[in-house]
Structure 1
């Protein structure tokens, strides 16, 4: 096992940071690492907004569900799916690109590009001894988030990434077994085996929560996921995305 793999396997989300800002050199290295990620057909359909204004971070923390670590960290990055520049490319080159830009396929490309870039950024930050946490909560109120960071049409913030010097070392949450995630040649559809693997994982997760809370929490993973999925969240998303002139075709 090499150092890169050790960094990957040792990942955990950090939600408490020292009061110490990242240096400009660190920020640039993280962004350059993000840019080195694979990108579909060289399209580079993403942008990153770094938020340093304390008032903006405070408001973003509120919009993300009152998460204090969105306000207090070393640096806050927002990763955006971005096809605005490709609209501009069409104008520059006098090419009819709108139908393509507004397709589901290109929207997926933008989401994937941004996500690959973000994971590169996360790994780069962790390799520097920093901690990270993804912030999906910014999608709770995307219109307000767009207003705060002033995104144009065809640009949608998809998640944030807080980075900083860790002020905690939480236990790692268990992951599903490799056999449940990895399928060889075809998707395994033995329902009895599939459910048994979930039952076994439930036992692992329940033990993790009991140890972490001194027996006060015994929740299973499937129970937790069922509650999560029963609750309808961010149901405005399809309409909002189309208003941004994305994913229309």
Structure 2
């Protein structure tokens, strides 16, 4: 158990990989580990698409915001919310499943299922000595990503996961204080207490960036969040999801 806890607590994102593709056995092991994640009502509402075509990887890297390491990783996995097979099961079994499939609840189930599977995949990869990085940038241009992978209705690409042999040693980015994340019995909503905790966390994050960049940066987490959330991004998402016949009611 100690080794597992150490692995989890030592996670860091890797954005520079050696030019070594994953083997078929490594890919199979990672996907099989992902499949063993918990799934709501055994619905298994996700699909994993492995991108081995170099040109497609380059195209997806560009669509994700020009992140070159997406193309240079040992393997790129795309995790998709997927209720396509379930829609067909409804047709085959003469069951009216469409209202359920198109509900917000089932869309949440699909997103959660895919996320749980992805975290299993990430842990499996790291346990094999590989590095990983989640790629939310594919949601910058979902219509184009959708075309690259030929995703049908009821299938939504959610995020990528780059996996490969690390070619860098990165520091662990400090997470929020325990007390900010864990509340007992009820939500602790006192804004003054929250402000104190955020200030404490800001000091730690600022020190982290200062050391990592040799004084070039000293960002505070709260400043990052304020600036990031002030910008409107991916505001097309609701229409795109509904166009996939998901999250309609």
Q: How far does the alpha carbon of each residue in 1:207-226 deviate from its partner, in whole angstroms, 9 at most, with x for none? A: 11111111111210000110
- For these two proteins, the number of residue pairs brought into alignment is 249
- 2:197 maps to which residue? 197
- 1:32 maps to which residue? 32
- The worse-fitting range, judged by mean Cα deviation, of 184-193 and 143-152 is 184-193
2:171 aligned counterpart, secondary structure: coil
Q: How far does the alpha carbon of each residue in 1:11-30 deviate from its partner, in whole angstroms, 9 at most, with x for none? A: 00000000001110000000
- 1:60 maps to which residue? 60
1:13 aligned counterpart, secondary structure: coil
Q: How far apart, in 2, do the equivalents of 1:120 and 1:216 lie? A: 35
Map residues 14-93 of structure 1 onto 2, 5 A cutoff: 14-93=14-93
TM-score norm. by structure 1 comes to: 0.99
Q: How far apart, in 2, do the equivalents of 1:122 and 1:32 lie? A: 12
- 2:111 maps to which residue? 111
Map residues 1-249 of structure 1 onto 2, 5 A cutoff: 2-249=2-249
Q: How far does the alpha carbon of each residue in 1:134-154 deviate from its partner, in whole angstroms, 9 at most, with x for none? A: 000000000110100111100
1:166 aligned counterpart, secondary structure: coil
2:129 aligned counterpart, secondary structure: coil
1:133 aligned counterpart, secondary structure: strand
Instruction: Please provide the CA RMSD for this pair.
Output: 0.7
Q: How far apart, in 1, do the equivalents of 2:156 and 2:189 lie? A: 36
1:57 aligned counterpart, secondary structure: helix
Q: How far does the alpha carbon of each residue in 1:63-100 deviate from its partner, in whole angstroms, 9 at most, with x for none? A: 00000111001110000000001101101111000000
| 1:190, distance to aligned residue in structure 2 (A) | 2.0
Q: How far apart, in 2, do the equivalents of 1:216 and 1:121 lie? A: 35
- The worse-fitting range, judged by mean Cα deviation, of 73-82 and 186-195 is 186-195
Q: How far apart, in 2, do the equivalents of 1:155 and 1:2 lie? A: 38
Q: Structure 1: where are the runs of 5+ without partners? A: none
1:225 aligned counterpart, secondary structure: helix
Q: How far apart, in 1, do the equivalents of 2:125 and 2:85 lie? A: 27
Q: How far apart, in 2, do the equivalents of 1:4 and 1:235 lie? A: 39
Q: How far apart, in 1, do the equivalents of 2:206 and 2:220 lie? A: 5
Structure 1 segments of 4+ aligned residues over 6 angstroms from their partners: none
| 1:193, distance to aligned residue in structure 2 (A) | 1.1
Q: How far apart, in 1, do the equivalents of 2:141 and 2:215 lie? A: 35
Q: How far apart, in 2, do the equivalents of 1:4 and 1:119 lie? A: 14
Q: How far does the alpha carbon of each residue in 1:25-61 deviate from its partner, in whole angstroms, 9 at most, with x for none? A: 0000000000000000000000000000000000000
